[in-house]
Amino acid sequence: MAGPRVKLVVTADDFGYCPRRDEGIVEAFLAGAVTSVSLLVNGAAAESAADLARRHQIPTGLHANLSEGRPVGPARQGASSLLSPEGFFLGKMGFREAVAAGSVSLPQVRDELEAQLIRFRQLLGGDPTHVDGHQHVHVLPGGRMPSWA
């Protein structure tokens, strides 16, 4: 009797970061080296990456981002525990330090992640196949990230 069938999933993240990276990711998908992608909805090339994902029917997840670039949600409108005074996310270490210090507002995290999910749906026309975290934001020690469950 055969054991359970195992399916290896190889996900390329940071899809939508820049066109050149996206082209390489698509090339890897078409060659069979990658089985899915994770889209940065606040990335500079998010719209063109979404077009590529649709065109090539690439299974696409949301690459939840709380550390790089600008937010897509309500935090854009003013002061937020997630942002620098210049309106950018705090960066990988800045975000980790803010979480450790207890200065990150979980409602603001929830609002930003919900806005990213909405933006994903706008770009792709449906729900993500999976959700993971940019710079492993989903596994931060002491950080309770909200779920949509």
Q: Which residues are catalytic?
A: 13
The C-alpha angle 68, 73, 75, rounded to 5 degrees, equals 75
- Helices assigned H by DSSP within the chain: 19-30, 46-55, 92-101, 106-124
Q: Find residue 54's DSSP bridge partners.
A: none
* 65 and 134 Cβ atoms separated by less than 8 Å: yes
In whole angstroms, give the CA distance from residue 123 to residue 105.
Answer: 27
CB 42 within 8 A of CB 49: no
